[in-house]
């Protein structure tokens, strides 16, 4: 078999809609985020920023010290998992293929199509609105990390804490960032309910012909 023939045969082999690394890190990330959000709500309830608290049944940790323990344990899990995902995404080209290009014209086009329920959904391929949402949630995650460091070590990271408006200001930024992430999760779950066929490939991977994908591009 010649090199050209081998290349053509390889291109015809079906590829996973979601590679194994992406699937595993996705579900670990989902678990860690749930733990961080629910324990974070319990920490918030111990010293509320606003005139409301979260129902105890939606929180994790039982009491402040327990919630902090859960929060930090989930934080390190999320950090290691995120490091694996980011490394894979950069080295494999997954980020470039899945989230780029991204421009205002494409976002506006796909948003109008989505609002009119005319936006087609192809498994394993993100439209411009989805790409924008994923970009925003990454930025929110960065804001949550930075503000979390300022809250965790306000003296050691004094310049950072001051930049965020002091300890209380860092708490507000952290709360708003996490609220944005929760909003993303809600939208994400709603889309899964509306398009349930997207769930199975994230569990088992699914298959698509590489040649067919290249033709679409």
Domain-by-domain residue ranges, the chain? 19-100, 111-205
pTM of the full structure: 0.76
Q: Please state which of the ranges 66-75, 138-147, 190-199, 206-215 shows the lowest mean pLDDT.
A: 206-215
pLDDT, one tens digit per residue, over 93-119 is: 777 777 777 777 777 777 767 666 666
Report d(CA 32, CA 116) in Å as an integer.
35
C-alpha distance from residue 94 to each of 26, 28, 37, 85 (Å): 14, 18, 27, 10
C-alpha distance from residue 124 to each of 110, 149, 206 (Å): 16, 34, 9
Question: C-alpha angle with apex 69: 89 to 39, nearest 5 degrees?
Answer: 75
| Structure token digits, residue 186 | 């809600």
pLDDT (average), residues 178-188: 88
208 neighbors 15 (Cβ within 8 angstroms): yes
Which is it for the CA torsion 142, 198, 80, 97, positive or negative?
negative
């Amino acid at each position: 078999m010649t090199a050209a023939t081998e290349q053509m045969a390889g291109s015809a082999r079906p590829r996973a809609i979601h590679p194994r690394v992406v699937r595993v890190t996705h579900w670990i990330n989902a678990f860690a985020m749930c733990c961080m959000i629910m324990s974070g709500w319990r920490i918030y309830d111990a010293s509320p920023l606003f005139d409301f608290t979260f129902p105890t049944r939606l929180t994790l940790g039982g009491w402040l010290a327990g919630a902090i323990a859960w929060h930090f344990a989930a934080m390190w899990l999320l950090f290691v998992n995120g490091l694996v995902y980011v490394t894979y995404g950069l080295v494999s080209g997954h980020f470039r293929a899945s989230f780029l290009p991204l421009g205002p014209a494409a976002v506006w086009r796909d948003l109008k199509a989505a609002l009119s329920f005319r936006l087609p959904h192809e498994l394993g391929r993100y439209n411009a609105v989805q790409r924008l949402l994923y970009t925003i949630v990454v930025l929110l995650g960065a804001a949550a990390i930075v503000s979390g460091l300022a809250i965790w070590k306000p003296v050691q990271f004094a310049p950072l804490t001051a930049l965020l408006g002091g300890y209380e200001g860092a708490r507000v930024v952290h709360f708003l960032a996490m609220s944005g992430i929760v909003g993303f999760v809600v939208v994400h779950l709603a889309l899964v309910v509306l398009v349930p066929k997207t769930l199975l490939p994230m569990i088992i991977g699914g298959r698509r012909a590489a040649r067919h994908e290249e033709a679409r591009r």
